[in-house]
Amino acid sequence: MKASPAADFERLYALGTGFQVAEILFAAIRLGFFSALAAGPVTGKSLAKKLNLSPDALGRFMFALKNLGLIEERNGACIKTPLSKNYLGAAEAENYSDMLIHLETLKSSWANLSYSLKKGTMHAPRKEALADYPRQLKRFLSAMHAYGAVKSAAICRLFPLHRYRHLLDIGGGMGTYAVAFAQKNSRLQATVFDLETVVPHAKKYIRQCGMGRRVSVAHGECRSDPFPGNDYDLVLLSNILHIYAPGDARSIIKKAARALQSSGTLLIHDYIAGCGDQVLVSLFDMTMLVGTPEGRCHARTDLCQWMKAAGLSRIRTKAVNAGTSIMWGIKK
Ligand SMILES: C[S@@+](CC[C@H](N)C(=O)[O-])C[C@H]1O[C@@H](n2cnc3c(N)ncnc32)[C@H](O)[C@@H]1O
């Protein structure tokens, strides 16, 4: 049925105001608004004093947060809703603030979307951004870790991990997935393979988790350096193929399959065109357009073809959550 002009207007208006909702969320996190509510109800007046904000502007801001379901009012004071109580604010165990702040850092590259649409690639990074690399890397890895904590738990439920004993996690970042998989399957030994600059972060995290005896780390460049061994029964490519153009992604899959023993499994976890929430996949694809030289969300049909060409069969796909999916195949 055709929507009414008023409904069409509302839909377009809602699409156009999406950035405003995100800005409110980012500002609340940056200002420490949710952390200030961690101990319990606080009045607007004392919040304004604590956060050094204009009482009038904060009152209006709180009205917006209330309408977005992020705070509630009780007896004239402000409290968190279950959503912000469970996931936003420094005191919480599962804290998604890092993930949201990471989304905020994408704003500068998204501002170049028109440029990227004309040129077909990202705008050259600013010199200041390159100079800030160590700090940015730390922030990036902690954001990947925040996503990974949720996604790896979901993959543990969706994928038959208990069958495996020896994992290679290519582009494994801080080791979030390798640690989660090894915690789930006590007979699994894992190796995280990543760039040299990432390795100290992975070692630190793995040590903190007390998993150093079962999860090791090796450094290298996955397209040009050899992998540490070729007798894995599980190789994971999580969120790495989207950084690369189809040709490179195909070669990485081929090389990853070579690191498998016969009957081993190649497991891909990524934003895949044709599987999972396609709005989120397409937004992520634009993030790759504006933020990487050649990255993109690869199509399920292409991945399937590259996996078959790498000697894999019995290929299966399952949606994970928030746009990502897993796809796996067995080496003949
Ligand atoms: C988007 S992060 C994904 C991290 C983790 N696998 C996850 O799913 O959260 C991509 C990771 O791949 C690593 N990486 C990218 N290109 C690489 C390459 N050519 N060789 C080795 N590691 C690479 C990055 O350093 C980073 O840790």
Of 315, 232, 224, the C-alpha closest to 275 is 315
Give the pLDDT of residue 303: 99
Expressed in angstroms and rounded, the spacing between residue 198 Cα and the centre of ligand 1 is: 9
Give the pLDDT of residue 242: 98
Expressed in angstroms and rounded, the spacing between residue 22 Cα and the centre of ligand 1 is: 26
Q: Which two tokens stand for residue 78?
A: 């402000």
Give the pLDDT of residue 90: 65
Give the mean pLDDT of the chain. 95
Q: Does residue 247 register a pLDDT over 80?
A: yes
Give the pLDDT of residue 156: 98
Which residue owns the Cα nearest ligand 1 atom 27?
173
pLDDT in tens, 249-297: 999 999 999 999 999 999 999 999 999 999 999 999 999 999 999 999 9
Give the pLDDT of residue 92: 57
Expressed in angstroms and rounded, the spacing between residue 172 Cα and the centre of ligand 1 is: 6
Give the pLDDT of residue 89: 85
CA distances from 257 to 67, 228, 246, 330 (A): 50, 13, 16, 9
- Ligand 1 binding pocket mutation candidate from 240, 252, 288, 327 (most atoms within 8 A of CB): 240
pLDDT in tens, 95-117: 888 889 999 999 999 999 999 99
* End-to-end Cα, the chain, rounded Å: 50
Atom of ligand 1 nearest to the CA of 242: 1
Q: Does residue 91 register a pLDDT over 90?
A: no
Of 260, 232, 201, 239, the C-alpha closest to 327 is 239
Q: Where does ligand 1 bind, in terms of residues with CB under 6 Å?
A: 144, 148, 171-173, 176, 194-195, 198, 221-223, 238-240, 243
Structural domains of the chain, ranges and CATH numbers in brackets: 5-92 (1.10.10.10), 110-331 (3.40.50.150)
Rounded CA-CA distance 141/198 in Å is 8
Rounded CA-CA distance 215/220 in Å is 17
Q: Does residue 129 register a pLDDT over 80?
A: no
Give the pLDDT of residue 256: 98
Expressed in angstroms and rounded, the spacing between residue 61 Cα and the centre of ligand 1 is: 38
